[in-house]
Structure 1
Amino acid sequence: MPPAQKLILLVDDDNEIIESMRMVLESKNYRIMVARDGNAGLTLAERESPDLIVLDMMMPKKSGFLVLEKLKGRPGGLIPTIMITGNEGSRHRAYAEMLGVRDYIRKPFAMEKLVRSVEKILEGRSSDSHHDD
């Protein structure tokens, strides 16, 4: 029996980015769920407990940071999360890393970069925990 598909929750208010990520990740045989804002993302994350969350930092209703803070406080702790952002600030990155995100990817990014990061986290394909840019 093939292993159960890993479930990835995409949380972003940008339709184009969501669709690109969904296409490329589904082609790698991941199951995809989509939330268009932070509140919906939080609800889905808590209900479905995905294997990985790809989270946009700047969104309506609840920023990615608020979503992270809430998820960090849940009984099972933080779900592995990749944060994507159009923001250049290194303060944001430092804060995201403090909250425990596994990777931090600046937009615009090549979809291969996202896939590599996802595979590294979900399949444990990298022996070290450092991420290279």
Structure 2
Amino acid sequence: MSEQEAKKAEDKTILLVDDDTEIVETMRFALESKGYRVLVARDGNQGLALAERDDPDLIVLDMMMPKRSGFLVLEKLRQTHKVPTKVIMVTGNEGNRHKAYAEMLGVDDYIRKPFAMDRLLGAVEKLIG
């Protein structure tokens, strides 16, 4: 990564909203190594609060979480018009109905767990550079 690319990434904030500590730490490490500023929320309510407060460039949002699902977080953000430009939903759910609903809510990418970290990094680069 060039110095200019690293500087560009440093100007971008990504909010990770997932209750799986191992996945969060793996994603955080990969994203921070590319120069992104990373915020972490462990449940949907905390994710919603951080999204509204910090206005991240991208949210990586788990579908199934305690307190408030990724769907409910996204619906609430849409209602308040406080949605980052880009959202990636990650899930262990195999159902196409959930993917269709996520797309209806306007997610920019939908990634099924488990996934290769290169898949996430490629989606992030494509969406926010």
TM-score with structure 1 setting the length: 0.88
CA distance in 2, matches of 1:79, 1:44: 15
How far the C-alpha of 1:66 sits from its partner, in A, is 0.1
Structure 1 residue 80 corresponds to structure 2 residue 67: no
Counterparts in 2 of 1:44-55, with a 5 A limit? Answer: 44-55=50-61
Please list, as runs of the form range in 1=range in 2, the aligned pairs for 1:45-124 lying within 5 A after superposition.
Answer: 45-77=51-83, 79-123=85-129
In 2: Cα distance, 1:49 partner to 1:16 partner? 25
Q: Which runs of 5+ in 2 are unaligned?
A: none
Rounded to whole Å, the distance in 1 between the matches of 2:83 and 2:21 is 29
Residue type of the partner of 1:56? D
- 1:93 is displaced (CA, Å) by 0.1
CA distance in structure 2 between the partners assigned to 1:56 and 1:24 by the alignment: 17
How many residues are matched? Answer: 123
2:30 is matched with 24
Equivalent AA in structure 1 for residue 86 of structure 2: P
- Give the structure with the higher percent helix: 2
- Which structure 1 segments of 5+ residues have no match? 124-133
CA contact (8 A) 1:71 1:79 kept: no
The CA RMSD over aligned residues, in Å, is: 1.4
* Corresponding residue SS for 1:59: coil
Q: CA deviation at 1:55?
A: 0.2
- Please, which of 22, 34, 43 is the counterpart of residue 37 of structure 1? 43
- Describe the superposition over 1:71-119 as per-residue Cα deviations: whole angstroms up to 9, x where unpaired: 1112344541000000000000000000000000000000000000000
